[in-house]
Structure 1
Amino acid sequence: MEQTEAAESPDVTGFLPASGFAYTESDEEKRRGVRRMKLFATCLLLLAATVFALAKWAEHADAGAWAGYVAAAAEAGMVGALADWFAVTALFRHPMGLPIPHTAIIPTKKDQLGQSLGDFVGENFLSESVVRSRLSTVKLGRRLGAWLSEPANADRLTTEVSTALRGGLTVLRDSDVQAIVGEAINRRAATLEIGPGAGKLLEQIVADGGHRRVVDLVCERAEIWLVANADSVMGAVTGGAPGWTPKFVDRKVGERVYKELLRFVTEMRDWPEHPARGAIDRFLRDFANDLQSDTATRTRVERLKAEVLARDEVQDFIASAWGSLRRMIVGAAEDEQSELRLRARAAILSFGRRMESDPRLRAKLEGWVEDAATHVVTTYQKEITSLITDTVAGWDAEHTSRKIEAHIGRDLQFIRINGTVVGSLAGLAIFTVYRAIAGG
């Protein structure tokens, strides 16, 4: 009745079929439990057969009316046990090796079962109504807000995000990123005309008087330089004088020029309404206007921009910008007290508290999640369910049957046991009714 242990026991020393459907040592332990239950159910069948034989012998020996009742119960128990043995065995193999139709259901119908399982999951778990109903009962917004508002959870999330950020920046190849960044900057700079924007910015700076600090700084630095380099200035003036002029005249001229330069710089520094300052203001205003409206000026600015971008020094700086940025981000992500991590933690806590207290924000987030989830399940339902069907289709039929039997076979043996017991009781009841009717 039962197949041999050699035929049933797989090699569990790391067996892994080509499909990746592993039969593990844990499965073999379960299978040993199945064999014990099979032995018990078979012994119960043999017990029923023995009782039937003894009862029939007692009945023929005129041992009394009880022998008929016992024989009927034992006979029905055998029938129930055999019928349930056939039903259980037919799930996994051909009973007694006979190719009886509609037996060995799991090995022969494996692909159809996988397809049915995929369809069942798609219809009952991946439908839009089911997903929306389930997500609406979860109250994701409130739960997420409560979780994020806990400082320990905010610290944990900040750490995980920092780790992921460092890992992502580490695996990126600097040369590839630098090429992308450089191309993006160059393309953007080439297509963006800077003249009008620079003109508006300069116009606003002049209107606000922001350039005056620059003028003040230049005047201060010029005065300091003139004081420190008086001999050099006078020497430059006298050195350019004609050879036929007397030396004392050249010296007087040099001193005069130096004093006038120093006076001019000092007055310009100390007098906000100095005519030279006004000339600078007019020049900057005119230049700001030309940057916005004068075609020739804008063309020259664009040409200068292109020349600057084409210089090797500028391209090297653009390419190296990514390396500096990456080092800065990685360093900030590693430092628990960095401004980046502190701000990220504060933002997480703030978002969690808002999520707890703001029902509109919770509703918006939950709506986004529901829309995203339903879009995924409705758009990719076939791809998701095909994972089930394709996986099951790739399993080896024999090992699939063997693994399933290892997991549920023990419970199925109770069907045989119950069939023996219930069959015996049913047979006893039927025989009792029959004798009551026949005796009546």
Structure 2
Amino acid sequence: MKRTERTRAADTTDAGAGSGSGAGGVTNRTMTTFSAADEEKQRGVRRMKLTATGLLLFVAVVYVLAEWASHRGAGAWAGYVAAAAEAGMVGALADWFAVTALFRYPLGLRIPHTAIIPNKKDQLGVSLGDFVGENFLSEDVVRGRLRAVGIGSRLGTWLAVPEHADRVTAELSAALRGALTVLRDSDVQAVVGEAVTRRANAQEIAPGMGKMLEKVVADGGHKKAVDVVVTRAHDWLVLHGDYVMNAVHGGAPGWTPRFVDRKVGERVYKELLRFITEMRDMPTHPARGALDRFLADFASDLQSDTDTRARVERLKGEVLGRDEVQDLIASAWTAVRSMIVSAAEDERSELRLRVRASLLSLGARMAADPRMQGKVDGWLESAAVYVVTTYRKEITSLITDTVASWDPEHTTRKIEANIGRDLQFIRINGTVVGSLAGLVIYTVARALGA
């Protein structure tokens, strides 16, 4: 009988609930899992059903015996017992009908407004989603709940513990390594190269270079570079005097005597060496002053001279367009990625030590500073409110679509297994309360009739 009722209910609910799947946007109905715990609960429901049914049979037997005794002249007490038993049967049957109508058609009869759960499953899912959206995903509820939790203070106290800071640092390092591993070098290199080139082309560099050069000259910062150049030039001339003299020989006319070429070469070499030596040893050498004026004028031209700025821009475009420069820009990502990955893997690297120290400092400040706690709480509240208000429909649709995807028969069984035992107490209470009510009514009626 039970299997017949279940089969009928499944056939009926499959037909009746089909329209609900369309509303929920789910066409296939997945079978809910019926676990071992659910099986144990269902056995408890069966035991309670037997108890409630047994109580109904008990009052029925009492009613029959009381009526028999009353007709046999047993006395007035038999009428009281019969009235109580009769009302108990009515109460028990009414509550049996009510409880059964939640899950299936009573006795297989398709009475209106019965088999409520299988027939109204999808509507119940929509109502549940709306209830959650209105009462749990509202702005006031979210803000009040997060404010009561005090996340800023708790998070600060938690982060201030060194072990927790170590854990967060390790997790961040793992996430960073994972992200860098997932990214393809070719894609990143292309993006970096394009971004650098676009940025360089979009901004004129000559004025900036002019201001920087002007400041360097004003501060005398270029003098050290000049010292290095002239010192290296002097040392090179000392070691390679023959190269200079041979170069002079090679450039002399063919009709000049060879000894004259040698004398000229030696003279040029000595004058050049003397000039470089004086320039090296004399900070006030005229050539140094001329170089200072040249650099100062060039810095000014970079900022104000149209022709100079245009030439610099053309040179910039030519340099950026060279394959060697593009390769250099692209290869910078490889070096940076390798450096970051190595630092993230090394527990004693400067990167991880600084991140850990920053987390500890942040945690200590958050734990002690009410203003910072308020800021963190405000940020989290705003973020949570934005999520729940923007994606409320998507969140609630998770409930409605999930309920709509459940198989009606197995959903009914699962719900009955979890709440059916308590519902059987309704039948028992109906029997007891009905009996007491019937006894009171019969007593009042007899008293008024007397």
Once the two structures are superposed, the pairs formed by residues 305-384 of structure 1 within 5 Å of their partners are: 305-384=316-395
How far 1:5 sits from its partner (Å)? Answer: 8.6
How far 1:283 sits from its partner (Å)? Answer: 1.2
SS in structure 1 at match of 2:32 = coil
Q: Does residue 1:250 correspond to 2:261, yes or no? A: yes
What residue in structure 1 maps to residue 33 of structure 2?
23
Counterpart of 1:91 (choices 91, 102, 123) is: 102
Distance in 2 (alpha carbons) for counterparts of 1:405 and 1:327: 60
Contact residue 126 and residue 381 of structure 1 kept, 8 A: yes
Distance in 2 (alpha carbons) for counterparts of 1:271 and 1:9: 109
How far 1:215 sits from its partner (Å)? Answer: 1.0
Any gaps of 5 or more consecutive residues in structure 1? Answer: 11-16
Any gaps of 5 or more consecutive residues in structure 2? Answer: 11-26
- Structure 1 stretch 308-317 or stretch 106-115: which is displaced more? 106-115
Distance in 1 (alpha carbons) for counterparts of 2:242 and 2:83: 137
Once the two structures are superposed, the pairs formed by residues 213-252 of structure 1 within 5 Å of their partners are: 213-252=224-263
Once the two structures are superposed, the pairs formed by residues 127-166 of structure 1 within 5 Å of their partners are: 127-166=138-177
* Gap change, CA 1:297 and 1:34, over 3 Å in 2: same
How far 1:100 sits from its partner (Å)? Answer: 0.8
Distance in 1 (alpha carbons) for counterparts of 2:52 and 2:100: 13
Identity among equivalent pairs (%): 72
What residue in structure 1 maps to residue 217 of structure 2?
206
* Gap change, CA 1:7 and 1:397, over 3 Å in 2: closer
Distance in 2 (alpha carbons) for counterparts of 1:199 and 1:19: 73
Distance in 1 (alpha carbons) for counterparts of 2:383 and 2:250: 81
Paired letter, 1:226:
L
Contact residue 30 and residue 407 of structure 2 kept, 8 A: no
What residue in structure 1 maps to residue 16 of structure 2?
none
* Gap change, CA 1:54 and 1:259, over 3 Å in 2: farther
SS in structure 2 at match of 1:102 = coil
Counterpart of 1:71 (choices 77, 82, 103) is: 82
Distance in 2 (alpha carbons) for counterparts of 1:223 and 1:29: 99
TM-score relative to the length of structure 1: 0.89
Paired letter, 1:53:
V
What residue in structure 2 maps to residue 103 of structure 1?
114
SS in structure 1 at match of 2:252 = coil
Distance in 1 (alpha carbons) for counterparts of 2:128 and 2:174: 39
Q: Give the RMSD, CA atoms, in angstroms.
A: 2.6
How far 1:183 sits from its partner (Å)? Answer: 1.8
SS in structure 2 at match of 1:22 = coil
Distance in 2 (alpha carbons) for counterparts of 1:55 and 1:327: 95
SS in structure 1 at match of 2:237 = helix
SS in structure 1 at match of 2:33 = coil
- Structure 1 stretch 419-428 or stretch 265-274: which is displaced more? 419-428
Distance in 1 (alpha carbons) for counterparts of 2:45 and 2:74: 40
Q: Deviations over 1:118-150 (max 9, x none)?
A: 222222122222222222222222122112212
Distance in 2 (alpha carbons) for counterparts of 1:364 and 1:25: 46
Paired letter, 1:299:
A
